[in-house]
Amino acid sequence: MDIQKITKDFKALQRQLHALNHASGILSYDAQTVAPAASDEARGETLGTISKMQYELLINDQVKDMLQTLTEQEANIDLQTFREAQELQRDYKNSTCIPKEEFVEYIILTNKATSVWRHAKNNNDFEVFRPYLEELVKTNIRFASYRDSSKPPYDVLLDDFEPGMTQLYLSEYFKQLRDELVPLVREIGQAVGPATDWLNKSFGVSKQAELSDRVMALMGVDKKRCILGQTEHPFTEGFNKWDVRITTHYHEDNLLSSLYSVIHEAGHALYELGIADELQFGRLAGGVSMGIHESQSRLYENMLGRSLPFAQSLLPMLKEGFPEVFASISSYQLYQALNAAKPSLIRVEADELTYSMHIMVRFELEKALFDGSLLVKDLPGAWRELYQSYLGVEVPDDRRGVLQDIHWSGGSFGYFPSYSVGSAYAAQIYDKMAEDIDVEGSLRNGNFAPINGWLKQAIHRHGGMLKPEALLVSATGKPFDVSHYTGYLTSKYKELYNF
């Protein structure tokens, strides 16, 4: 066995997989930004062919043996190669554990379910979606058992988005959130918040686009390696550290919505832009997990982006771009407006404080669906109860209730918790960063270099080398601890609302 030869072949395989990923990624980006409307079907053919080529590259006995050998040779190969082999072996298992015909049937099911969900949401008709959701849950339980029958199905799904995460752990996590935050959320639901009606103006798209450019520059996003596009829904796609794309959607009647989606996506982008050179083109050249990725976007969007010193840096740009709106506004008024909180119905419109309550509802319902303690037919009622209990709001219809999110229709169960966990990671990372450098001073001076430098060193450069928990320990010196998050929210909102 020539381990050097195997390693060389393994690197070549990763480059090939990367090239095909890069190609299909650009095809998708192009599709969402500029491609002609009728081009979808033919592009689907190409994407299908590429995906088949990816499958054939990865899934064959030669690669299987290669991965087996490499993962058994931890002592004789470098750590990066070992981790790459580990992750590709995980991909290998995920791609092969489900019988092909069942997988094809499932793809057809999710496509159909997504289109039925769209119809159901538009018509506020949960009943038409119900049988699809039942089938999706059933199939995911079966698939989870194919992947690892020794674990509860929901743990298998959670592990897919956030390696190492379990329902037991999350139950504890959300219990602490519930205990510490629900009273605050309910109290704020009764309080009179700061005035924000002065923001109800119209904001021209080209002025907003100029502002986006300036804010990205302020944040230290390298224009030579990252561009901003416009799409229906904002997203980030990183192909490698020299080519990251973020997008936003401008709403003339809502400046903060597009501005903060740019800051959020720029946080994702800075992560991808900061991954070490030596990881590029390989399996580890990307964020390590959904949760860690969200930690970076939410750190920039919330902990940094909605802070008072950032409001101080931002305000002059707003005054220049929209003098008629911001001329007489103070930084503290802006800071208040950036953090207006109110329990509400819709997750994607939720503020920083109440956001995790929306996630908690979904976590509890998913867990109950997968351990059999809740039936799909009882889901809308359970949803209404939990919204009443955690957020104190009455859900008037399923469109604004259980039907609001697309995720389940595409078979994504166990995805939601990573949004909340990301914020909690972010709070812990922030606290450590604030011990090491003057974060508030940097923000106030409009100088993101120390912040970006610290995060690159602690988080970004590692890409997929360290698993989430290990990364957090390496960055902050201690295991995941949700009290950073609850403490941050409690003190911020108590101050803002004078409790």
Give the residue numbers marked as catalytic: 265
The stretch near a second copy (CB under 8 A) out of 28-36, 385-393, 439-447, 476-484 is 28-36
Burial class for 479, CB neighbours closer than 10 Å (0-12, 13-18, 19+): exposed
Work out how close the CB of 266 gets to a second copy at its nearest, in angstroms, rounded to a whole number: 14
Element (H, E) at 249: none
φ/ψ of 240, rounded to 5, equals -170, 180
Tokens linked to 420: 């909340």
Candidates 9, 35, 73, 231; binder of a second copy (CB under 8 A) is: 35
Candidates 9, 11, 26, 412; binder of a second copy (CB under 8 A) is: 26
- By CB under 8 A, is residue 224 in contact with a second copy? yes
- Minimum CB distance to a second copy smaller for 56 or for 435: 56
Encoded amino acid at 26, one letter:
I
Binding mask 50-69 for a second copy (x = CB under 8 A): x--x----------------
- Minimum CB distance to a second copy smaller for 137 or for 273: 273
User: Which positions from 385 through 404 interact with a second copy, judged by CB under 8 A?
Assistant: none
- By CB under 8 A, is residue 27 in contact with a second copy? yes
**Largest alpha-carbon pair distance within the chain?**
74
Work out how close the CB of 40 gets to a second copy at its nearest, in angstroms, rounded to a whole number: 8
- By CB under 8 A, is residue 217 in contact with a second copy? no
CA geometry: angle at 244 spanning 238 and 249, to 5°? Answer: 100
Is there a contact between 63 and 16 (Cβ–Cβ < 8 Å)?
Answer: no
* Rounded Cα distance, 430 and 487, in Å: 12
Tokens linked to 319: 């005054």
Binding mask 2-21 for a second copy (x = CB under 8 A): -------------xx-xxx-
Residue of 176, 178, 161 whose CA lies nearest to 481: 176
Tokens linked to 148: 């690892």
- Residues in CB range of 257: below 8 A, 6 or more apart: 251
- Minimum CB distance to a second copy smaller for 1 or for 42: 42
* Rounded Cα distance, 214 and 475, in Å: 30
Candidates 8, 33, 253, 474; binder of a second copy (CB under 8 A) is: 33
The stretch near a second copy (CB under 8 A) out of 62-70, 187-195, 238-246, 435-443 is 238-246
- By CB under 8 A, is residue 248 in contact with a second copy? no
- By CB under 8 A, is residue 39 in contact with a second copy? yes
The stretch near a second copy (CB under 8 A) out of 233-241, 308-316, 329-337, 340-348 is 233-241
Work out how close the CB of 271 gets to a second copy at its nearest, in angstroms, rounded to a whole number: 16
The stretch near a second copy (CB under 8 A) out of 43-51, 59-67, 343-351, 364-372 is 43-51
Beta bridge partners of 245: 227, 237
* Rounded Cα distance, 305 and 137, in Å: 38
* Rounded Cα distance, 96 and 93, in Å: 5
- By CB under 8 A, is residue 243 in contact with a second copy? yes
- By CB under 8 A, is residue 231 in contact with a second copy? no
Work out how close the CB of 244 gets to a second copy at its nearest, in angstroms, rounded to a whole number: 8
Residue 12: CA count within 13 A, CB half-sphere: 8
- By CB under 8 A, is residue 249 in contact with a second copy? no
- Minimum CB distance to a second copy smaller for 216 or for 459: 216
CA separation (Å) from 12 to 58, 63, 282? 12, 12, 9
Work out how close the CB of 290 gets to a second copy at its nearest, in angstroms, rounded to a whole number: 24
Q: How many CB atoms lie within 10 A of CB 316?
A: 13
User: Which positions from 277 through 296 interact with a second copy, judged by CB under 8 A?
Assistant: 280-281
**Total residues in contact with a second copy, by rule CB under 8 A:** 42
* Rounded Cα distance, 89 and 87, in Å: 5
* Rounded Cα distance, 197 and 175, in Å: 35
Residues interacting with a second copy, by CB under 8 A? 15-16, 18-20, 22-24, 26-27, 29-30, 33-39, 41-43, 45-46, 49-50, 53, 222-227, 229, 239-244, 280-281
